[in-house]
Amino acid sequence: MMKISNNLSLSVIDNHNILYRQCWLFLSIFIFVILSIDCSIGGEAIKENPAHVLKKYLDESEDPVELAAEVVTKNGRGAVFTDDNICFKIAIYRLFKYWEDPRSEQALSIAAKSGKQIIPQIGLTKYGIAQDILNHVKAKKQVSDLINNITNHRESLKVIEEYITNNWDSLITNSEGRYALIDYPYTLCKYLIQKAAEVGGADALSIIYKTEIWPGINHVHGDRETSLDEYFWYQLKYGQEIVDYAKSIGFEKAAKSHGFLDSIARTKNVNAGRLLSEWLKGVREDDYKSIDVIISKISMLPDAREQLLLLLDNPNFYIFRISTHSLMSIDLVSDEVIEKFKKVKEQIVSRGADEDKVRILDSMLARLTDNLQLKKERPNKK
């Protein structure tokens, strides 16, 4: 009886093993079949990354606007790509490329209304991006219509300035502007300033100062990154004119205009550092905020090291302190810097610096020494 029982148990175990192997075989075949199923568009199998495939189709299509519109509206053969966020954005940017085609605006309008545009604490959804690009398309069209048939650049600039002035409240005063994720008036104003800079060159500086909006490359490029030199083309091209304009209005007015001081530093103009240094000399010794602002812009200059080393000779406590911090923040500490620091520190102490200032200077010297030591121990980059 015991022998029969054992045989039965072994038989059951064998059956279980066979069933187990059969299940695994079936599951393997099922997974293989699932992985072999491809998305398709126009009857062709998509075996690659969907984003790469969509780009290929758009590049080769005789009517890329139609395909991109199908993707963002989840319609027709392009619908297979709609749920892929990257593909959705690729299609949006392609529609912007063909902004003059009325189908682009129509498709973007539908896409923008297809879901929630903003998620708090996160930002724009793909539908919010569609709304933002729609704003860009509408703004480009509006600016184009505004100066249509005007061939004289000076006249074009005049028309743009008059439009901004006459619509100041809607464009600037009542606009949520640069602090909003999606804001059509601000987008329109950016395009107006961009066009003013293109047609007016340095003559557009007064309207740029007034609006506090600087020309650049609007962030709709889709397929490529924008270099800093591309973005700051205006500052690089009209550097001397910007420096001259800033000199004519003075530090206080320049500082009040958003981005103006940054733009002076972005010019890479040799006279930019001289102007900022002149302004620094005219600031009150205890005006910590102005000193900090000016030195932070000096730190952005191509010759920042030379400019900051000159400032280290200044026995003004705040200038000395902020210049030292700037040298550390952009990794320019050296034996020369420490020797200069020690020398000027003695001058400041001899002039009657209080205990708090002396303690701050001692702490800074210790940080400079540690900073240099770490720098020397750091492996040299080839």
Task: Decide if pLDDT at 185 tops 60.
Answer: yes
The per-residue pLDDT for range 188-218, each reduced to its tens digit, is 999 999 999 999 999 999 999 999 999 987 5
Alpha carbons 206 and 244: distance in angstroms, whole number: 12
Task: Decide if pLDDT at 32 tops 50.
Answer: no
- Extended strands (E) in the chain: 39-41, 44-46, 118-119, 123-124
| DSSP assignment of 29-75 | HHHHHHHH--EEETTEEE-S-HHHHHHHHHHH-S-HHHHHHHHHHT-
Sign of CA dihedral 173, 179, 185, 191: positive
The per-residue pLDDT for range 265-309, each reduced to its tens digit, is 999 998 999 999 999 999 998 899 999 999 999 999 998 988 998
CA 333 to chain centre: 29
The token duo for 324 is: 């030292």
CA 55 to chain centre: 24
Strands 39-41 and 44-46: antiparallel
Phi/psi of residue 308, nearest 5 degrees: -70, -35
Sign of CA dihedral 67, 72, 73, 74: positive
Confidence at 353, pLDDT banded by 50, 70, 90: confident
Per-residue b or e along 199-226, where b marks 16 or more CB atoms closer than 10 Å to that residue's CB: bbebbbbebbbebbbbbbebebeeeeee
- For 94-98, 170-174, 298-302, 362-366, which range has the lowest pLDDT when averaged over its residues? 170-174
For 340, residues 6+ apart whose C-beta sits below 8 A from its C-beta are 309, 312, 313
Q: 227 in helix, strand or coil? A: coil
